[in-house]
Amino acid sequence: MNLKNTFGNQLQVTLFGESHSAGLGVVLDGLAPGIKVDEEFIRSQLSKRRPAGKISTARKEQDEYTIQCGVFNGYTTGTPLCITIPNTAQHSKDYSENRAKARPGHADFTAYCKYHGFEDYRGGGHFSGRITAGLVAAGAILIPALEKKGIYIATHIHKCAGVDDRGFENYADDFAMLKNNDFPTISADAADLMKKAIEAAASDGDSVGGIIETAIVGVPAGVGEPWFDSVESMLSHGMFSIPAVKGVSFGDGFAMADMKGSQANDPFAMDGECVVTTKNSNGGINGGITNGMPILMQTVIKPTPSIFKEQKTVDFFKNEDVSLQLQGRHDPCIVHRACVVADSICAIVIADLLTQRFGTDYLGEKQ
């Protein structure tokens, strides 16, 4: 069976819905029974993905989700868990008059080619970033379960619009700070400068992108598979499911191209009875398998393709060159909204890898 909207091995996630359909959602299958479900945490996570102020789209969705099945008396049952989220703020008419004009950077033309014109094109349809709400809801089931195992995940904006945030230093302090920040940077000064740069781009009818950095701490050594299901392979696969992602690297990443082996290697040492590395250029992964150090990953988010400048494109019904001037409601930047999605993807992937390594009941509680 070729499930094109399903991801995972032991733990599988299936997405459904479109940007302007009645709703969207997610199904989690292979989930351990006995995972406590914190509905307030799900709401909190969904709120981090929603737009905010001048730096985001004017489309406001409340994301009032419903758990349709798979949870009983506050715990997962082990059967498929389905969450639905209604769409309530669609402006579908914004897209009808430009139906055949391919928006540069969007999936309009490629979706038309794949689905022969039967696709729901409104708001990007099934290709819309709106669909990531389902991923965030799924991640919110798993993040607390991972934390009970001593595994923590956090993502910050490493770079946006030419402004840099500092990297992770003290993981416990930095994670606690990011948990309470509405705008996910470690440095408050960086946040202020990024917001101003985003607002400036919006005022000019343009958009900006950036790089987000994710740290996953507490994953034990020995998790992952060599070759096709390596930790890097699975995390990259998951991260590239996020719309606008154009690059993923681990540890020092592309900077390794300018290093020598003596610089890129991470020396091993003993810390009491634990094997550690004295630095972490490889991002906590050797041979596709975790070595017990923090997993560090950087993800490139391209500038939002929906901009309010006139652009050259084609009308693929008439097969002619045309100009396009977008209307509607669009984000000048999605980097800040992508951080909670990255956390959620990482939770899904790590939970799947742990389930493969330690068994299907690993994340659940026992009665």
Pull the structure tokens for residue 107.
């999936």
Is 4 within a domain? no
Is 82 within a domain? yes
Is 125 within a domain? yes
Amino acid found at 364: G
Q: What is the pLDDT of residue 350?
A: 98
pLDDT in tens, 268-319: 999 999 999 999 999 999 999 999 999 999 999 999 999 999 999 999 999 9
**Widest pairwise Cα distance in the chain:** 71
Listed as own residue / partner, the contacts of 190-195 with beta carbons closer than 8 Å and 24 or more positions apart are 190/157, 190/163, 190/164, 190/165, 190/166, 191/165, 193/163, 194/157, 194/160, 194/161, 194/163, 194/165, 194/336, 195/55
pLDDT in tens, 252-271: 999 999 999 999 999 999 99
Where the chain has pLDDT below 50, the residues are 1-2
Is 63 within a domain? yes
Closest-CA residue to 269 (of 256, 279, 281): 279
Q: What is the pLDDT of residue 96?
A: 73
Is 6 within a domain? no
What is the C-alpha separation between 123 and 112, in angstroms, rounded?
A: 14
Q: Which domain holds residue 331?
A: 12-358
Is 1 within a domain? no
Q: What is the pLDDT of residue 63?
A: 85
CATH of the domain at 104: 3.60.150.10
Q: What is the pLDDT of residue 60?
A: 66
Q: How many domains does the chain have?
A: 1
Q: What is the pLDDT of residue 57?
A: 65
Q: What is the pLDDT of residue 328?
A: 72
Count of H-run helices and E-run strands, the chain: 9, 18
Contact 305, 324 (CB under 8 A): no
Is 80 within a domain? yes
DSSP 8-class letter at 301: E
pLDDT in tens, 64-94: 999 999 999 999 999 999 999 999 866 666 6
Q: What is the pLDDT of residue 93?
A: 63
Is 2 within a domain? no
